[in-house]
Structure 1
Amino acid sequence: MPDSSLFPLDIPTLAFSRGLMQIMLAGLLVYVGRRHEQGAGARLWAAGFLLNGISLFLFSITAHGIWDTVCVVGNHLALGAGSACLLLGFWAFGRQRAQPWLAALVVVIPLVALLAFEGAWPNARLRVLTTAFGQLVFLLALQASLRRPPRHEIEHIYRRLRVLALVYAAVLVWAYAVVANVLPTSSRLDIGYHLAIFSVASLLFMLSLAVTCLALQFALLAARNEDLAMVDWLTGLLNRRGFFRAIAHGDTGRADAERIGSVVVLDIDHFKRINDQHGHAAGDRVLQAVADRLRELASPSDLVARMGGEEFCVAMPGARREHAFARAEAILAHCRNTTVPAADGRAIRFTVSAGVCEASPTLSIDDALAQADAAMYAAKREGRDRAMAAHDLEHDARA
């Protein structure tokens, strides 16, 4: 007789405990993700853990001979549906294109196992092995969905979960290869020993998966909060801190002159007068209008920021002075033709002045901004509503 005392574990009781744990974790995921920007992923994860928990409850009931056929059918279908929901959750969280056929396959495989080996040709071993194959498909699809995290801040979590999914897939193959008699069992250890190890591994995997889902929610929430600290609340542009952080996280393998290109500093003319005559609410609308014009004219690689007060900045990677100056002139023209409604119904017209500086290998971003700022103030002294280049100031100074 095989010596099962080497692993004295009540598998049905363990399955019941696993099911209870997964249902509790499903509730926790719903609570955490209820107000989250990507709460759809959390809700799908919760549905997946809930269905897996139901599947385990039904398995534990089946093991005691109660409602045998009904519980077997429910166990297999709930397992497949739960795995499909987990996959859909990761696709939704990662903003990846869903693969409905793959999610459907994870559900169809245990359904085929039921129809073929529970109904047409009753064979419990083949039914269990076919359903286990469906779980292997789920694990490989999960591992593939983790290749591209939605943000670099959670890349390390995705990487560890990929390793975890592969390890668990290897344990699943090992355990069910024994059931299929592909791998020999020891003369002292029966099949139940291997399945007990798999049950413990499954418990640890699902617990780790649930903890990882929670960690992803919190990590993404922290990243969103960090984003908010980098964005100006009124205009939606980068603030000063966000601008310099974006510069610092650029392609540092290139010289500043190549990475930054040119910078344009802009300042709204007579902004204090607008606030005094029309009120601060109207002044806020003018700031928003300038931000809108900057966004409309920006290229995808540009960094656009409100540096403080009524001052704005545009960094144009790879742009030469002539291109940046033409962009500044276009911004001025758009602002000149923009009107903002005042509280009394009148239309507020406004202009901006701009300074342009092209970076060079010996010029840091701070120096480039300082020179563009000096050119902008020179434009104000020349009459406002115009752009001036730092290069022209240097040329005039030498002359």
Structure 2
Amino acid sequence: MGQAGNRWAVVMLLCVLSLLATTALASSRDLESGWEYRWGDSPRLADGTPAWIQPGKDEAWHAIGFPSNPPHREGRHHAWFRVTLPEGDWRDPVLYVYSIDLIAEAYLDGKRIYRHGAFDTAGEGRFAGWPWHMIPLPTDAAGHQLYFRVYSNYTDIGLWGEIKLMERADLLGYILKHSASAMVVSPLCLLLALLAGIFAVIQANRRSFAAIALFGLAAGTMILAESQASQLLLDAPLLWDFLAAGGYYTLPIALGLLLEHWFAKTRPRLIRRIWQAHLAYLVAALGAAGLGWIDLAITFPVFDALLVASLALLMAAIAPRLHRLEGRQRAILATFALFGALLLADMAVAHGLLPWTRIPVSVGALVFALAIVVISLLDYAHTQRDLKRLNQRLEAEVSARTQQLQTLVERLETYSYTDPLTGLHNRRYFDELLQHEARQAQREFTPLALAMIDIDHFKRVNDRHGHEAGDRVLAGVATILNDHFRDADVVCRLGGEEFVVLLPGADADTARNRLETLMTQLAGRVYWHGERMLGPVTISCGIAVYPTHSTSPMALAGLADRALYAAKQGGRARVAVYA
């Protein structure tokens, strides 16, 4: 396992941490309206920038509901899309795109900010995979136009799936949330493949277990490769697409071997020809794509058509004999019908025949694989004792994994409200606490003070001594803040060098006195980073109190921020109460 295993563990832990710490999932913005498009590729200006990203009215742009597959394509391979980014308060914004057909560049304010794939001098390029995309944006990007240059010789052209504006830190949690089932099902399918492969070696009738092993390997590989979390494990989208294609194209081969075994007395020759045809296509398609003769992308529509035809032939061959089948064989057909229906639905979404949505193909794969295993075990009654022990082992492993995940969840629920650098509560905790204290202050008619605190000239510390030294100062100030305020007061770090203190029951004078005392304590403190002395540092403070300054406690943060600004304008190292 080695480095690969360690990387997998680290990625999974970071994903779980991100999932539990994320707060902006609810505040993410869907960018599924306001888009415009135009066909063709932009000419270049003298400095090499595309002419179409210049400001000004251009009648060639047309409105489109979603930036994908504009009308009247007529064999064209180039298209441009643009949208005006919405207003919002973002700290580290990114644009999340589920997928792009096929390669693209993104431009903002006249500059290229993102590229997927490589464009040649003709504005064309080869398929570079279907990853999800995270496009960093500046914090002041609201109201600016974002442009996409897209090239595709595939059946689709443009952006695909979903497009969201969100915080960078929250994207990992979003990816993990939608990859959770795949991250569970894929290892289970691969484990089933391993166990079935072992039984294929030790059992007299190896063919059935070999087919089960092949199906488990194909399904597990496909589900893992198509999971968005795989990109966190290894940023190699084209490799993952080759693995996904290999697993996807192998499924009908494994299915054909299974059905040929189970329906040996019906139409074995037709079933054999079907899986042999798929084997030939697997070798030809992946071989040609691997040698660079064709793009891997174009092999998917051809396979989809072949798969639809194969499924129809299989069902036609089996349906007239359903009444002759045993209950276990009918169960296989039922689970296969579920899995096949999910595959067809996913295929229809991919080709735009159904609205975009996430199809739980992994669930169908798991149900079908488990059904095959159970029925195969029943067919070998003389090994029932050994196979029962095997099932118990599987159940124990699933239970152990579930328990481990539950333990992680319980531990990380605490981390999701804690700033890892200072140990103070974070913004998420503050937002929820402010709502609670606001309701209590209004209900009990008691004052509530809120103080915004900012370390003066903190950027100088980072510039002169480095970010590690800056972190040492932040941690030291946080310790003093935490020790200074009483138990009823709550100190949180909002981000950067900014802190907030919530003082239930305190009026303006009380809050001012506590903060002035705090400033005295800070004035006598220095901080060390290695052999360098840092500080002392000073702070500026702004105070707002309910109901003195506002009839709404939820407005205190904004008022205290104004007071903080006044303190900084007044020379820093002072406390200002909102006037």
TM bin (shorter chain)? 0.3 to 0.5
Greater percentage in helix: 1
TM-score, with length taken from structure 2: 0.29
Greater percentage in strand: 2
